[in-house]
Amino acid sequence: MDTEFQSWRLPSGQLLVLCRGCELEEFMVPTGWGYRLGLSAYGLPINALQPVSSVPSVSGLDKFCPQCNLRLAFLKVVESLVEIGVIGRPEIG
């Protein structure tokens, strides 16, 4: 079974690619990153994201942080948002 991915644009203009599971866990659940990024003003944080395009599935495994178990690509987005002052440095763990 292939995983479906969707490219999204954050309100800050950055692109983020999420699988369906990450859409649910990170942008529709109160403990997810969508709430930590302050996107709850839009109701569910997923409503703050603008869909860009479907992304073809690729074989292989994504890289995850061994401490917090978050995708490396997502952590880079969070880091860049901290650097430009959109959010404060979040507590992970």
Residue at 88 is within a domain: no
Give the per-residue pLDDT at 52.
94
* pLDDT tens-digit series, residues 51-70: 999 887 655 556 666 666 66
Residue at 91 is within a domain: no
Q: What is the pTM of this model?
A: 0.64
Domain count, the chain: 1
The boundaries of the domain holding residue 54 are 5-83
DSSP string, 7-64: EEE-TTS-EEEEEHHHHHHHHSSTTSHHHHTTGGGGSSGGGGSEEEEEE---SS---B
What's the rounded mean pLDDT across residues 1-7?
72
Q: Which residues pair with 8 in a beta bridge?
A: 16, 51
* pLDDT tens-digit series, residues 30-53: 988 888 888 888 789 999 999 999
Structure tokens given for 24: 């649910």
Which residue type occupies 20? R
Indicate whether 74 pLDDT > 90: no
pLDDT category of residue 1 using cuts at 50, 70 and 90 = very low
Q: Closest Cα to residue 75, out of 57, 93, 54, 58?
A: 93
**CA dihedral sign, ordered 64, 82, 8, 44:** positive
Residue at 93 is within a domain: no
